[in-house]
Amino acid sequence: MYPKPLTYRRARTLDEAFSFLSENEDARVIAGGQSIMPMLKLRIASPSLLVDIAPIRELHEIRMEGNEIIIGAMVTHREIIESREIKSNIPMLQETARHIADVQIRNRGTLGGSICEADPSADYTPTLLVLDARVTLKSAKGERTVSLDDFLVGPFEVDIKQGEILTSVIIPVNRSAYSVVKYARRAADFAVASMAALVEKKTDGTVSDIRVAVGAQSDRPLRLRDLESELTGIKPQKRDLHLAVEKAVEGLEPIDDIHGSADYRKEVTSNILKANLGSLIFGGDSK
């Protein structure tokens, strides 16, 4: 399968990329290509101009700035898995990257590309939502930073304007106890249900901070903010957790498709939330 005929331009600097993008309204950015190539081949997308941002050096950087890590859009899943800075400062992100697709895709696929594809069952987004990540978007006119929660609009839709490029992801350092679960039929598949959670407890067992997000359960990954507020500031019992989970899952509207019916997806979500939030809150193996 060939993509439709297109013109390819390689940008060496951001300014060059902005100028290529401004030449053509129909232009799309290509990073690692592991999301857009399948779309081009299936002709779901058929831009007449493809602007490759891979040569732009600043997009490959991982750096600390105060209490935050800034990861360039072109950083690959493999580089996230191998980064010492990420391992020691946001281990949860590294754990998430380990389960993306397969070795070959992880060698090419990028953080920025995956976020911009905005697949509702993508691996990174639940994790990045609980980490309160923000994304930086640059264009010839300037730059803006938005929370990932605002950036994700719907299925395969993000708040990016023509001419803008997602250049980096900003993530506050977080070493809290976490859980990342991807439930898929086969390991390299997209998730049928997924969750990411962080929990901070006081020494007496009171939950001081809990953040939970689920993937593949709606038109975009979601933070479960009601569940979070119900369990914060208390020493929850198993019953409290189960009730909060059931209430949260009740409100989800996952798709019904060949990978799993809506009911099945909700059932799996309920089970993985109860088991894994249980382990984080009550400690040990309370599954």
Binding site for other proteins (CB under 8 A): 1-8, 10, 30, 33-34, 37-38, 40-42, 50, 52, 54, 78, 101-105, 107-108, 186-188
Q: Which is nearer to other proteins, 2 or 203 (CB)?
A: 2
Quote the least distance from Cβ 178 to other proteins, whole Å. 21
Quote the least distance from Cβ 184 to other proteins, whole Å. 11
Quote the least distance from Cβ 267 to other proteins, whole Å. 25
Q: Which is nearer to other proteins, 52 or 246 (CB)?
A: 52
Quote the least distance from Cβ 20 to other proteins, whole Å. 13
Quote the least distance from Cβ 1 to other proteins, whole Å. 5
Q: Which is nearer to other proteins, 87 or 108 (CB)?
A: 108
- Rounded-to-integer distance, Cα 20 and Cα 24, Å: 7
Q: Which is nearer to other proteins, 104 or 229 (CB)?
A: 104
Q: Which is nearer to other proteins, 37 or 62 (CB)?
A: 37
